[in-house]
Amino acid sequence: MELGVHAAPLDFSSTYPIPDLDEGTASLHALAHGAADAPQKIYSRLQQPTVSRFEGALAKLEGAEHAVAYASGMAALTAVLMTLRVRHPEDDRPHVLALRPIYGGSDHLLDHGLTGCQVEWVKPEDVARKIRPETRLIIAETPANPTLKWLDIEQLVADANGAPVLIDSTFATPVLQTPLAHGATFVLHSATKFLGGHGDVLGGIVASNDDEWAAAMRHVRVVTGACLHPMAAWLCLRSLPTLPLRVRRATETATALVDFLNRQPAVARVDYPRADHPLLGSQMLGRGSLISFELTGGYEAAVALMKAVKLCTPAVSLGSTDTLIQHPAGLTHHVVPEDQRIEAGITAGMIRLSVGLESEEDLARDLAQALAIAATSAPAENREPAAQDAATPSSEMA
């Protein structure tokens, strides 16, 4: 309102006029070292007004002092891992604990040593035992992708014994969960999902109350150039006012569809948080709009289901206005080593559904016809998804 406009302004400038060189140099110095703003704008890789506006809005929603936005969720996670080297130059390979399951791309990034961190995979019950004085970060996703298991953030923070905890809260959004209020140090979102909300944006954002760390995050963004485009920031900003409505409506529809899926003979099991989950009402304010389910016909039934849906879109990603259906073992988590995938509960017959804003009746009708086709197409011998190619480029992950 103070700008005298109703919709947020959108500035596409990549560079800005610098009439006063002394002021320009001082501003560049500040921004290049992680300042959030400076009197003179310099270059949009250093600071961008529309992106800053989105960061301010998300920080408020997460109850954080700072938020730093990136070109994608993966760029945001990479930046967090890179800041460990900035904050601890004495560490050759910063020690990180990570909990599975986690989004397949994040799993791949952590598992392949690309960021120079020494990553140890742990189960939630082993965190307290595996934590070391030199552990620099603990990474977990709750709700977890794709099993939808919930982790007790306060318990994890207690077990971390002072080590920083990063929660990927993409599935929850700040509408359902605010991890910093439960003691987490960082909260990460793939803004590509619910924050963008319409399947037309790629972005990532991390929020925290740690001033030094926020400066390091901006510093890493300046030098790596993993910036969020202003148009993407604007689309995210535009989508935030409808976020609570979208999340609540999709959650209501998902809850109704769970009952429907539980009655289908082609469905062996539905994974959806229970109505009496101990964290419901305290950590999570709703059960969310993602559902995973196991098909009795295994992989062949999954292939048939993905082909047979007409209203649901067979596609990766989630949190859009429309319903997306996908096969984690073959797509989002394909890059995870098979034994780890299976141990994490990601089976060949598992389907993940991201419920959108269509009517419950239309979705149930579509799923019923597709499940009927899937039920008839499953042979007795189940195939597995195609074997992994070690050289799979990470751009194939979503």
Ligand X SMILES: Cc1ncc(COP(=O)(O)O)c(C=O)c1O
> What gap in Å lies between CA 318 and CA 303, rounded to an integer?
19
We find the least distance from the C-beta atom of residue 368 to ligand X, in angstroms, to be: 27
Q: Which of 254, 334, 266, 273 is nearest to 302 (CA)?
A: 266
- How crowded is residue 149: how many other Cβ atoms within 10 Å of its Cβ? 18
- Give the shortest CB-145-to-ligand X separation in angstroms: 4
In sequence order, the β-bridge partners of residue 141 are 168
Burial 245-256 (b: 16+ CB within 10 A, else e): ebbebbbebbbe
Residue among 75 and 222 whose Cβ is closer to ligand X:
75
Binding-site size for ligand X (CB under 6 A) equals 15
Query: Would the CA dihedral through 66, 178, 398, 338 be positive or negative?
Result: positive
- By beta-carbon proximity to ligand X, the closer residue of 40 and 106 is 106
To ligand X, the closest distance from the beta carbon of 141 in angstroms equals 5
Among 62, 99, 103, 299, binds ligand X (CB under 6 A): 103
190 near ligand X, judged by CB under 6 A: yes
**Could you give the CA distance from residue 305 to residue 372 in angstroms, rounded to a whole number?**
9
Query: Which positions from 66 through 85 interact with ligand X, judged by CB under 6 A?
Result: 72-74
Task: Scan residues 25-64 and list those touching ligand X (CB under 6 A).
Answer: none
User: Alpha-carbon Rg of the chain, whole angstroms?
Assistant: 22
- Which CB sits closer to ligand X, 48 or 170? 170
Our CB check for ligand X shows the closer of 30 and 325 to be 325
CB hemisphere CA count around 185 (13 angstroms): 21
**Closer Cβ to ligand X, 114 or 158, answer by number:** 114
CA neighbor of 64 nearest in space, from 157, 161, 178? 178
Residue placing its CB nearer to ligand X in the complex, 316 or 373: 316
Contacts of 64 (CB under 8 A, 6+ apart): 58, 180, 187, 207, 208, 209
Work out which of 24, 34, 164, 204 binds ligand X, going by CB under 6 A: 204
H/E stretch holding 24: helix 21-32
**Listed ranges 101-109, 127-135, 217-225, 372-380: which one lies at the site for ligand X (CB under 6 A):** 101-109
Of 84, 163, 202, 348, the residue at the interface with ligand X (CB under 6 A) is 202
Location of structure tokens 């751009």: 395
Residue 121 binds ligand X, judged by CB under 6 A: no
Residue placing its CB nearer to ligand X in the complex, 27 or 190: 190
Among 40, 83, 147, 170, interactor with ligand X by CB under 6 A: 170
Please say which residue, 72 or 135, places its beta carbon nearer to ligand X: 72
Alpha helices in 88-195 (DSSP H): 104-111, 127-130, 153-160, 173-176
Locate tokens 């485009």: which residue? 229
Which tokens go with 363?
A: 């979705």
Residue 167 found at the interface with ligand X (CB under 6 A): no
The amino acid at 245: L
Q: Which residue is nearest to ligand X (CB)?
A: 73
d(CA 139, CA 307): 35
192 binds ligand X (CB under 6 A): yes
With CB under 6 A as the contact rule, which of the stretches 103-111, 119-127, 148-156, 342-350 interacts with ligand X?
Answer: 103-111
Written as six digits, the tokens of 306 are 């993905």
- What amino acid occupies position 70? Y
Stretch of 45-53, 102-110, 178-186, 237-245 lying at the interface with ligand X (CB under 6 A):
102-110
Nearer to ligand X, 141 or 159 (CB): 141
The answer to whether residue 168 forms part of the interface with ligand X (CB under 6 A) is yes
Position 320 contacts ligand X (CB under 6 A):
no
Binder of ligand X out of 55, 107, 141, 300 (CB under 6 A):
141
239 near ligand X, rule: CB under 6 A: no
Give CA 151 to chain center in angstroms: 15
Strand order in the sheet with 204-208: 66-70, 204-208, 186-190, 165-168, 135-141, 95-99, 118-122
* Residue 294 binds ligand X, judged by CB under 6 A: no
Nearest distance in Å: CB 186, ligand X:
13
Q: Which residues bind ligand X (CB under 6 A)?
A: 72-74, 103, 105-106, 141, 145, 168, 170, 190, 192, 202, 204, 398
